[in-house]
Amino acid sequence: MPASIAPQGSGKSTIINLIAGIDRPTAGTVTVNGSRLDQMSEEQLAVWRGRTIGIVFQFFQLLPTLTAAENAILPLDLARLGTSRERKAVAGRHLAAVGLGDRAGRLPLELSGGEQQRVAIARAMACGPPILLGDEPTGNLGTGMARDMFGLLKGLNDGGTTVVYVTHDQALAGLASRIVSVRDGLITGDTGRRP
């Protein structure tokens, strides 16, 4: 499970957005798992992203008019995976996995920042993506909950999901199997094992 560590403003979020095909490079290429993202149309990127990527954004990006369960179901709805009942069951399992099984009916405004972050993690897990990206995925969680969520991400990684996250937290980065250090948009270090 690789981590990118760098101070604020060094390009960590941009790296995540490039890997996800949200941002386009101004130069060079972006290849993820054999797919050249810089050559895809917006429509192709949307389809590829829906099948390949789960994203935990730094500022949650939850839809404010949807409950926690509806936010966790959204990727399944967009991908048209399973029946409505199956989608609800999957979202329920993911919310329970992040400790929010009893908060499924709450709107984001009724949840703490840490709870919103956990809903975002459940949403990223929705479609069982082969790649899960986290932009400061535990940044709004207390130390204990951050470790629990890291354990969840590690479990996904152990199960075959590639998990890449960016952080400025040295302790959290130290838990990764590979650490890529970034400063001013450039890689300044790369340690740990590679797959």
Does position 2 have pLDDT exceeding 60, yes or no? no
Architecture of domain 2-63+119-192: 3-Layer(aba) Sandwich (3.40)
Q: Has residue 4 got a pLDDT over 80? A: no
10-42 pLDDT, tens digit per residue, is: 677 888 889 999 999 888 999 998 999 999 999
Identify the H or E element spanning 118: helix 113-125
Instruction: Specify which residues 189 forms β-bridges with.
Output: 181
Orientation of helix 68-79 relative to helix 42-52, angle to 10° = 120
Could you give the CA distance from residue 158 to residue 179 in angstroms, rounded to a whole number? 17
C-alpha to C-alpha distance for 108 and 6, rounded to whole angstroms:
29
166 and 14 in contact (C-beta within 8 Å)?
A: no
Which residues are 178's β-sheet partners? 2, 192
Per the model's pLDDT, the better-predicted residue between 36 and 192 turns out to be 36
Measured on CA atoms in the order 85, 112, 107, 123, is the torsion positive or negative? negative
Is it the case that residue 153 has pLDDT exceeding 90?
Answer: no
Of 183 and 166, the one with more pLDDT: 166
Residue ranges of the domains in the chain? 2-63+119-192
* pLDDT value, residue 67: 97
Measured torsion, CA atoms of residues 1, 45, 47, 77, in degrees rounded to the nearest 10: 80
Q: In the chain, what's the furthest Cα-to-Cα distance?
A: 48
**What band does 3 get if pLDDT is binned at 50, 70 and 90?**
low
Average pLDDT, the chain: 86
**Predicted confidence band at 117 (pLDDT cuts at 50, 70, 90)?**
confident
The span from the CA of 192 to the CA of 178, in Å, is: 4
Residue 135: band (very low, low, confident or very high) from pLDDT cuts 50, 70, 90: confident
Length reported for the chain: 195
Q: pTM (2 decimals)? A: 0.82
The pLDDT tens digits of the residues spanning 67-102 come to: 999 999 999 988 888 899 999 999 999 999 888 999
pLDDT (0 to 100) of residue 156: 86
